[in-house]
Amino acid sequence: MTEATVIGLGEMGSALAAALLRAGHRVTVWNRTAAKAQPLVQQGAVLAPSAEAAIGASAVVIVCVSNYGATRDILLAGNTAAALRGRTLVQLSTGTPQEARDTQAWAQVQRAAYLDGAILAWPSQIGGAETTILVSGAEAVFRLNSALLRDLAGNLTYMGEAVGQSSTLFSAVLSYMAGRWIGLCHGALICQAEGASVASFGATLASLAPILGAESKHLGEVIESGNYGHPESTLKTAGEDVERLVQQAKEAGISTEVPAFAAALFRRAIDAGHGAEEHAALIKILRP
């Protein structure tokens, strides 16, 4: 028996297995494409000949593959599911809250304990003291496995018994990140069109990180409290600034796609009478 099994040895699964090995754990690994296990075998991992054998090798089975569909492909093949009986399945593939709930119910039928996690880090950060992995599921199961999981992420965060909570927060963070990535690329177009350094733009964003973080915290509190009435900068002011980005894009001959999308949302919110409120009042026009 090894202490943990890692199924899925892509960028993230390999990083998880390597972190466990670095922390001194005995680790069994399995991947559909077996060749990806070689670097880990050189670091001391045991390569199992099948997913079923990999599950049988440890009391804790961590799965990190592309998505929950890939997880099902692995666990529903042959007798693999039966091997989970009495073991703890830790799902670290990215999914939706509903997929987490469905997988918990499925694991229960297999008589396996289940934890659902979400990784808020790049593979190179796995094992770091400040690395965050969110975990939800039965508290007793979390406590039993928290020492092992903390070797993956120093900032291991328990989200509670409701198993969909980790992927809920992950999805919300990803939504924020998606906006950032899109905004960064349009900002880079602006810089390039005007001969400004895109690397300096990135550095400026990095220097603004604490302010942007504080703003996110503030807007979260505004939405939770429903108190949109005391803005330092109104939604109308921001909306008009964003509309000016459309003008700038036309003048520079670059794509207007991103600012036009953003400006249309702000315009709808202003037209709906929210111009004097906090920027976060945009949420009011996004609700059904």
Residue 28 contacts ligand NAP per CB under 6 A: no
Q: Which is nearer to ligand NAP, 31 or 88 (CB)?
A: 31
Nearest to 252 by CA among 180, 187, 179, 183: 187
Residue 64 contacts ligand NAP per CB under 6 A: yes
Residue 152 contacts ligand NAP per CB under 6 A: no
Residue 90 in tokens: 């830790």
Stretch that binds ligand NAP, among 30-38, 42-50, 97-105, 179-187 (CB under 6 A): 30-38
Residue 131 contacts ligand NAP per CB under 6 A: no
Q: How many CB atoms lie within 10 A of CB 272?
A: 11
Distance of CA 232 to the CA centre of its chain: 31
C-alpha span between 218 and 214 (Å, rounded): 6
Residue 169 in tokens: 């927060």
Report H helices in the chain: 11-22, 38-42, 51-56, 68-75, 97-109, 139-150, 165-193, 198-225, 235-252, 257-269, 283-286
Residue 107 contacts ligand NAP per CB under 6 A: no
Stretch that binds ligand NAP, among 60-68, 134-142, 206-214, 266-274 (CB under 6 A): 60-68
Residue nearest to ligand NAP (CB): 10
* Smallest separation, CB 72 to ligand NAP (Å): 8
Residue 10 contacts ligand NAP per CB under 6 A: yes
Binder of ligand NAP out of 28, 58, 88, 94 (CB under 6 A): 94
C-alpha span between 104 and 220 (Å, rounded): 29
What residues line the site for ligand NAP (CB under 6 A)? Answer: 8-13, 31-33, 36, 64-67, 70, 73-74, 93-94, 119, 122-123
